[in-house]
Amino acid sequence: MMFKAGEKLPVVMVGQTIGQMCEELKGLTRRGAVMIADSNGKLAGIITDADLRREMSEKGSAVFDCMTEDVMTPDCKRVTENTLAAEAMAIFHKYRIDELPVVDDDDQPVGMIDVQDIVAIKIVG
């Protein structure tokens, strides 16, 4: 999920419901995960497709009334804009994750890398 300038990032705020999150992000074509930001715009966590599947299997359609902060993985792994692709690949491998938020120096989301992005550029880690 490498994003181009001007492309909408999959970011929503703490305090929104999952239903609001889905509504806000409809129209995005690549949605393996959603970054959750706090009131200061800093990355607070991530909600992956797997997180949503687990919640839906437990709660059914009631998941849409759950708050983002109750579903997200807080303190998720992240990289900065200066992280090398090989370093990102090592994080994907070590933690067995598929999406990795990219943050700026203020810990605000600026992008997201999907493991397939790294595979596509043939980085060996």
Residue 1 lies in a domain: no
Residue 18 lies in a domain: yes
* pLDDT tens, the chain, 125 aa long: 455 556 789 999 999 999 999 999 988 876 689 999 999 999 999 999 999 999 999 999 999 999 999 999 998 999 999 999 889 999 999 999 999 999 999 999 999 998 887 766 665 54
Q: What CA–CA distance (Å, rounded) separates 44 from 61?
A: 25
Task: Confirm if 68 and 18 have CB atoms less than 8 A apart.
Answer: yes
Instruction: Give me the residue label for tokens 């994003």.
Output: 3
Residue 2 lies in a domain: no
The total of structural domains in the chain comes to 1
Residue 4 lies in a domain: no
Write the DSSP assignment of 70-92 as a string of letters: HHSEES---EETT--HHHHHHHH
Among left, alpha and beta (phi > 0; psi -120 to 50; other), residue 27 is left
Residue 52 lies in a domain: yes
